[in-house]
Structure 1
């Protein structure tokens, strides 16, 4: 039986963006690629690190999405917990019901 894919989403503070991108790129046994886009974090739990963020009222973040098997997502999260302990990366997974490429 083929394992159900999931989409792992990571919310990455701007200051960690390149470090997380490099880290994910190195995880070639689990991650074949990922998509990243700009995000703006709002809320009481959001850290505003720079004066510009405090003026804008939101934190600059990257939204990273990786589609992989559920078990690989668990392994990747285990690694992220070790490598990025204390950084307060936010994550979630959702099932992927369809996946393909339009040629």
Structure 2
């Protein structure tokens, strides 16, 4: 079932934050909205770009979550691969068993 919703999570380096936010807003055929929060990246693959990050021992990042249909998530990932090639954006998708708005 490819129309099952998924939560696509993106880990975005601080310096790409606004560019990725703007890009997602432009993808209105796939993305109706998203949630972003601050994140601290740790690990051997994490790039520490500033002296402050090297002292702190973690990278300042944003965590972006988008709930959308699985096929739309696949299309969005393909677009991100083209538009943000070489930026090392990290992503994963998890199934969403329920999604709604409490009115």
TM-score with structure 2 length normalisation?
A: 0.97
Contiguous gaps of at least 5 residues in structure 1 = none
For structure 2, which runs of at least 5 residues remain unmatched after alignment?
Answer: none
Aligned to 2:3: 3
Q: Map 1:1-103 onto structure 2 (within 5 A).
A: 3-103=3-103
CA distance in 1, matches of 2:34, 2:102: 17
CA 1:57/1:65 → structure 2, altered by over 3 Å: closer, same or farther?
same
* Cα-to-partner distance string for 1:15-74 (whole Å, 9 max, x where unaligned): 000000000000010000000000000011110000110111100000000000000000
CA distance in structure 2 between the aligned counterparts of 1:10 and 1:2, rounded to whole angstroms: 20
Note the C-alpha offset of 1:3: 1.6
**Quick check: 2:35–2:64 contact (8 Å CA) kept in 1?**
yes
Say how many residue pairs are matched.
103
The CA distance in 1 between the partners of 2:98 and 2:91, in whole Å, is: 21
Alpha-carbon distance in structure 2 between the residues aligned to 1:99 and 1:67: 8
Coordinate RMSD, CA, aligned: 1.2
Looking at structure 1, the residues matched to 77 and 10 of structure 2 have their Cα atoms a distance apart, in angstroms, of: 10
Q: What CA distance in whole angstroms lies between the structure 2 residues aligned with 1:57 and 1:35?
A: 25
Distance in 1, matches of 2:17 and 2:3, equals 30
**TM-score scaled by length of structure 1:** 0.97
